[in-house]
Amino acid sequence: ILSPKSSQRGYPNRTPAIGDRILTGPQSFGRIITLPDTEIAMIQLDHVLALNGAMISSSSSVDHTQYVNMSSFEWDTSHEYWKPRNTSGDRITLQMTTPTPETPRPISTPKLPLTPPQPAPRTILPKTPELVEKGHVTPKLFDMHTIKPKETFIDAPQVTTPPLGSIINQESIRHSSEVPKSSPQPSFTNQDTIHFSREAQNSPR
């Protein structure tokens, strides 16, 4: 962005013409000899600085011609020649200047409250036989534990032996209860004996 003073200077109101003087640098002065295009000019320098600092005349040499872009030059009304844009001074004290761009005022925008980022939607994949096989866990046949649990020991109950006499009494009582009662024997009464003796007497001899 150029300053208002530089934008109002000669180039917008003046077009380059053949024979106009042009300053391309300090002590580098020339003249426009042809205009092949509206913005391109062929210039011929009057003097060229040599390597040892001496001025070499270029009036009889064609090597001191060059093409320049006139959009990079502006017309200086006080000296009536073209000079590079953004420069100050004359043909000897010419130096570049840095234009100060016009900075626009910052526009204050209201700060919006920060919202937490929403999680991305989860895509549910259809269950395929491969996924089912991958998700199936095969139970282990043997589960190896490196750390064994502590074993708890329980004291066995103490059995007291009864005395020998009580054991014999208990065995005899149990044996008597297990023996079945014998069937009653037929008892012969006195009447049966008498009846038998009478039958013996009556029988023939």
Tens digits of residue pLDDT in 163-190:
666 666 666 666 555 545 544 454 444 4
| Residue 26, in any domain of the structure | yes
Domain count, the chain: 1
pTM across the whole model:
0.40
Side-chain-side CA neighbours of residue 125 (13 Å): 6
| Residue 165, in any domain of the structure | no
pLDDT for res 56: 61
pLDDT for res 26: 82
| Residue 96, in any domain of the structure | no
More confident residue, 88 or 171: 88
Task: Give the pLDDT band (50/70/90) at residue 32.
Answer: very high
pLDDT for res 10: 43
| Residue 24, in any domain of the structure | yes
From residue 204, alpha-carbon distances to 94, 193, 197, 199 in Å are 196, 19, 14, 10
More confident residue, 61 or 42: 42
More confident residue, 1 or 106: 106
Task: Give the pLDDT band (50/70/90) at residue 4.
Answer: very low
Task: Give the pLDDT band (50/70/90) at residue 125.
Answer: low
More confident residue, 53 or 182: 53
| Residue 49, in any domain of the structure | yes
| Residue 13, in any domain of the structure | yes
- pLDDT of 109 strictly over 60: yes
- Cα distance between residue 185 and residue 118, in whole Å: 109
| Residue 116, in any domain of the structure | no
- Which amino acid belongs to residue 194? I
Class of residue 121 by CB neighbours under 10 A (exposed 0-12, middle 13-18, buried 19+): exposed
Task: State the virtual CA torsion across 24, 25, 26, 28 in degrees, nearest 10.
Answer: -50
What is the span of the domain harbouring residue 49? 4-87
Q: Which range in 64-68, 130-134, 135-139 is most confidently predicted, on average pLDDT?
A: 64-68
| Residue 106, in any domain of the structure | no
Q: What is the mean pLDDT of the chain?
A: 68
pLDDT for res 31: 92
Averaged over 96-109, what is the pLDDT? 70
Task: Give the pLDDT band (50/70/90) at residue 3.
Answer: very low
Is residue 45 within 8 Å of 58, Cβ to Cβ? yes
